[in-house]
Amino acid sequence: MFEPTEEQAALAEAARDFCQGTLTETLKADDEAEVFRPEIVKAMGEMGLCGIPTPEEHGGLGLGYYEYCLVLEEIAKVSASYAVSVAVTGLPQVILTLFGSDAQKQRWLPGLAAGELLGAFALSEPESGSDAASLKTTAVRDGDDYVLTGTKFWITHGSYADVYVVMARTGGPGARGVSAFLVPGDAANLSFGRKEEKMGMRASPTVEVVLDGVRVPASARIGDEGIGFTVAMTALDSGRITIGASAVGLCQASLEYATRYATERRQFGTPIIDFQGVGFMLADMACRTETSRLLVHKAATLKDAKRPYSDIAAMAKVTATDAAMAVTTDAVQVLGGYGYTREHPVERWMRDAKVMQIVEGTNQIQRLVIARHLKKQHGIG
């Protein structure tokens, strides 16, 4: 079950070869100096890796989320930061494919799918994280335009993106008052505040985005007024699959590295993998990795089949990201003191894993989502 075809395996192998041949050159230095290289995303785009599920008529490969997951896992095995970049620049593509006008699709999708343009998703605010429906950024209609004012936090690709999907309030309080807009990266009165200094994902820029009376035409609104929250939640359902796939990549990289180390490292005259305390830890790491992969692939397969997948996507996100935190931590433990040093990549993988339990809806919120689905399945509410 979920075995890739030759074509799917070849796509994943191409991603693996590119990442191992390109990303590893500056990986450690970029993590330490918090350097993001947009040209790497562009190079991935030239291979088709940035637009895997985007329809062919709009410049993508027209494949599914299953293929997307295979590729993201391979990227994350080398760099979780660039796996996130590919996933985040994919969010506007998901949104435009499902909700965009023909003109919007023609304007933005080919460049995003090709990696020539970077996309960003701007939902979170200083006082609006998990409670996304309480956002305060406003979009006021002024003739044929909207004027957007507010501040967005935690924006991946902030200051780098060519287009931002911005959620702003056009109506009253709550989810029904939110609309979605396309804001070009060079828009007047769009500026950028603090770049976050992060524990992990340090090669992925996270920047405050400030809209101080940004004027966009009404044609920049995505869909009707008031559907912005639906747009955002639909995108996040997809994003939970891609974050899950990236987490699986971290699990697999950590498992392989720790197993290799435990086979080569000898204590008391024997490889440490033969000690039950280490061998059992590696066995648990393997179980967590494979369980997470299967659940992520199930969510992707359901999405590709156009079947309901929101609850499974939430389960996949929780399972895979919790596993990534556990597996990377155990990898550090297997290496002992060496694992705590920057000589080995396991400490970076552990730092990268933590934020995956937070982004695309915290794992606590995911458990609420799952519980609500269970309630509905039993005919309550």
Residue 23 lies inside a defined structural domain of this protein: yes
Domain boundary (191, 226, 261) is at 226
| All residues at 6 or more sequence positions from 143 whose CB lies less than 8 Å from its CB, including other chains | none
The label of the residue with tokens 């359901």 reads 302
Q: Which amino acid is at 290?
A: E
* Secondary structure element (H or E) that encloses residue 40, with its range: helix 38-46
Question: What does the pLDDT read at residue 381?
Answer: 58
Question: What does the pLDDT read at residue 137?
Answer: 97
Residue 264 lies inside a defined structural domain of this protein: yes
**Same domain? 203 vs 317:** no
| All residues at 6 or more sequence positions from 129 whose CB lies less than 8 Å from its CB, including other chains | 153, 154
Tokens at 374, concatenated: 């269970």
| All residues at 6 or more sequence positions from 146 whose CB lies less than 8 Å from its CB, including other chains | 139, 140, 168, 170, 181, 215, 216, 217, 218, 220, 221
Are residues 250 and 223 in contact, defined by beta-carbon separation less than 8 angstroms? no
| Chain centre distance of CA 210 | 22
- What residues form DSSP beta bridges with 192? 209
The label of the residue with tokens 């939902």 reads 123
**Same domain? 108 vs 203:** no
**Same domain? 199 vs 129:** yes
Tokens at 237, concatenated: 């359902």
| All residues at 6 or more sequence positions from 38 whose CB lies less than 8 Å from its CB, including other chains | 118, 160
360 is annotated as an active-site residue: yes
**Same domain? 347 vs 248:** yes
C-alpha to C-alpha distance for 149 and 190, rounded to whole angstroms: 9
Question: What does the pLDDT read at residue 343?
Answer: 93
CATH number at residue 203: 2.40.110.10
**Same domain? 198 vs 138:** yes
**Same domain? 235 vs 368:** yes
Nearest of 215, 216, 197 to residue 206 by alpha carbon: 197
**Same domain? 221 vs 287:** no
The label of the residue with tokens 């609420």 reads 368
Are residues 13 and 21 in contact, defined by beta-carbon separation less than 8 angstroms? no
C-alpha to C-alpha distance for 215 and 153, rounded to whole angstroms: 20
The backbone torsions φ and ψ at residue 140, rounded to the nearest 5 degrees and listed phi first, read: -100, 130
Output the tens digit of pLDDT for each of the chain's 381 residues. 578 999 999 999 999 999 999 999 899 999 999 999 999 999 999 999 999 999 999 999 999 999 999 999 999 999 999 999 999 999 999 999 999 999 999 999 999 999 999 999 999 999 888 888 899 999 999 999 999 999 999 999 999 999 999 999 999 999 999 999 999 999 999 999 999 999 999 999 999 999 999 999 999 999 999 999 999 999 999 999 999 999 999 999 999 999 999 999 999 999 999 999 999 999 999 999 999 999 999 999 999 999 999 999 999 999 999 999 999 999 999 999 999 999 999 999 999 999 999 999 999 999 999 999 999 888 775
Question: What does the pLDDT read at residue 132?
Answer: 83
**Same domain? 84 vs 150:** no
Give the total number of structural domains in the chain. 3
Residue 284 lies inside a defined structural domain of this protein: yes
Burial of 97 (0-12, 13-18, 19+ CB in 10 A): middle
C-alpha to C-alpha distance for 46 and 226, rounded to whole angstroms: 36
Domain boundary (201, 226, 251) is at 226
pTM (predicted TM-score): 0.95
Q: Which amino acid is at 263?
A: T
Nearest of 195, 139, 145, 187 to residue 167 by alpha carbon: 139
C-alpha to C-alpha distance for 5 and 131, rounded to whole angstroms: 41
Helix, strand or coil, per DSSP, at residue 150? strand
The label of the residue with tokens 């597996």 reads 327
Residue 91 lies inside a defined structural domain of this protein: yes
Nearest of 135, 187, 132, 197 to residue 162 by alpha carbon: 187
CATH number at residue 101: 1.10.540.10
Domain carrying residue 105: 6-117
**Same domain? 360 vs 321:** yes
Domain boundary (178, 201, 226) is at 226
Extended strands (E) in the chain: 119-122, 138-142, 145-156, 163-169, 178-184, 190-195, 206-217, 221-222, 266-267, 270-271
The vertex-324 CA angle with 155 and 358, nearest 5°, equals 30
| All residues at 6 or more sequence positions from 54 whose CB lies less than 8 Å from its CB, including other chains | 60, 61, 62, 90, 93, 97, 109, 112, 113
**Same domain? 279 vs 324:** yes
Residue 203 lies inside a defined structural domain of this protein: yes
- What residues form DSSP beta bridges with 166? 122, 181
**Same domain? 180 vs 191:** yes
Are residues 96 and 109 in contact, defined by beta-carbon separation less than 8 angstroms? yes
Residue 1 lies inside a defined structural domain of this protein: no
- What residues form DSSP beta bridges with 147? 140, 215
**Same domain? 254 vs 370:** yes
Catalytic hit among 67, 73, 347, 360: 360
